[in-house]
Structures are given as structure tokens and as C-alpha cells.
Structure 1
């Protein structure tokens, strides 16, 4: 398999799938809503696991997988300002403003379940 896979725990698989396919350029790979869905973007495969999926089940020690946190997938974009403007117009929530850094600029947005996604524009 040529994909790098990331699993995100979400509370609403349909809502998360719609978000990633509508706003961030992912393509549906597998639809097992309401439990699970997967979507791809290039060589990235995103596994969206809801409470009914095996990835969302309570662990033997009682811990429950939950959405959110700070670990995140990073999507390279050619024009970060244009992407931010487009996504803000669509009602997407951001955690911060565009931050310049030594390697480029970044900003973190939330998917519908509160999982972070970083948009990154490398320096030329």
C-alpha cells in the first residue's frame, strides 16, 4: 500500500467526511457511516473513526478515545492566505492566525470534531 495513514477519532463520521472532502480536497475511499469512513488526498489516507468503530471503542483500562488534542495532520498549501480566506468564508474555525516561521507559514484549524489540521506554506 502506497498510503501513509492517519486515524482521527471523530464524534460524527458523516460530518467529518463532508468537511474533509468539501473543504480540504480529500476523496472518499470507503464509506461505512456511521461507524467509519476513509478518504485520501495524494498519498495520505485519513481514517475517520466514530464511537461505533473499532478505533473508537473503550480501551481495556477504561479510557475512551476522544477527538481533539494537538497531534495533527499537516497539509501543504501553495497560498496560505488564500486558503485561510476561503475556509473562513465557509465558516471553518481556526485556533490561531497565520504564524510565520523559519521554514514557512502555518495556521491550525479544527475539523468538526475538534481535531486540529495544520495548513503549511513552505518558504520559497
Structure 2
């Protein structure tokens, strides 16, 4: 079964700061705002669930482990001009994990949101 939009949950430290980051810098739109605990934002067929410390998505597991921000799983956003997009975002003071790297499929770099979650910006190789 394929469902559209596809939903991804990111655990975040601060829902308001995350909303500002995704809407202002990456062009997401607010779908449901339940601050301070939660907000869902959308970008095309992607629904990103921003779950703060007060949200049900951040509750402890039965063994005591807690979902926390960060990690290497990530959403990937395709951009038409990676160098231009990186320059724009660096000009806004945003943090990157690495420089642009080139591979057989295209070029990519990793951007961090305010909680340290990773977003891959990807420009496909020309065919």
C-alpha cells in the first residue's frame, strides 16, 4: 500500500525553531500547528512531523529509552542548483555537516536543522 503524502517524524528540541527553519529556509508549509508539542509541515508529497519533548512521539519506551533528535537517517530534498542553494543557506547562517560531494548519481551535502537532524540536499547528475 502506497500512501501520499509520505510522513517522516523528526524528534526536535524546539518546535517553534524547527517550524521557522523548515518554512523560512526550505519552503515547507505548515499543515497542523499544535505548539509547543507538535507541528506537521509539508513539502510536495512529504509530511514532516516535528515532535517536541512534550509530544506523544517523544514519550519514553517501556524500557526507558527516549526518542531524541539527531542521527543519520534523513530526508532528501532535490534542488536544481546545489551550489546556489548552499550559498543561500550559508548566507542565512545555517549549519552544514560537510562540503558538497560529487558521486555518480549527482552531488550532495548535509544540512542540519536546529535540533541537529540531517537534511540531504541533492542535485542529480546531468544525463
Pairwise TM-score range, normalised by the shorter structure: over 0.9
Task: Extract unaligned runs of 5+ from structure 1.
Answer: none
Secondary structure, counterpart of 1:94 in structure 2: coil
1:7 alignment partner in structure 2: 9
Task: Extract unaligned runs of 5+ from structure 2.
Answer: none
Mapped pair 1:119 → 2:121:
yes
4+ runs deviating over 6 angstroms: none
TM-score normalised to the size of structure 1? 0.98
Deviation at 1:2, TM superposition (A): 2.1
Deviation at 1:59, TM superposition (A): 0.9
TM-score normalised to the size of structure 2? 0.96
1:93 to 81, 92, 95: 95
1:108 to 84, 107, 110: 110
Whole-angstrom distance in 2 between the partners of 1:5 and 1:64: 20
- Pairs aligned (count): 124
- Structure 1 residues 13-54: Cα deviation after superposition (integer angstroms, max 9, x where no partner): 010011000000100000001000000000000000011101
Secondary structure, counterpart of 1:45 in structure 2: strand
Mapped pair 1:74 → 2:76:
yes
- Structure 1 residues 72-92: Cα deviation after superposition (integer angstroms, max 9, x where no partner): 000000000000000000000
1:22 alignment partner in structure 2: 24
Secondary structure, counterpart of 1:69 in structure 2: coil
Whole-angstrom distance in 2 between the partners of 1:33 and 1:15: 11
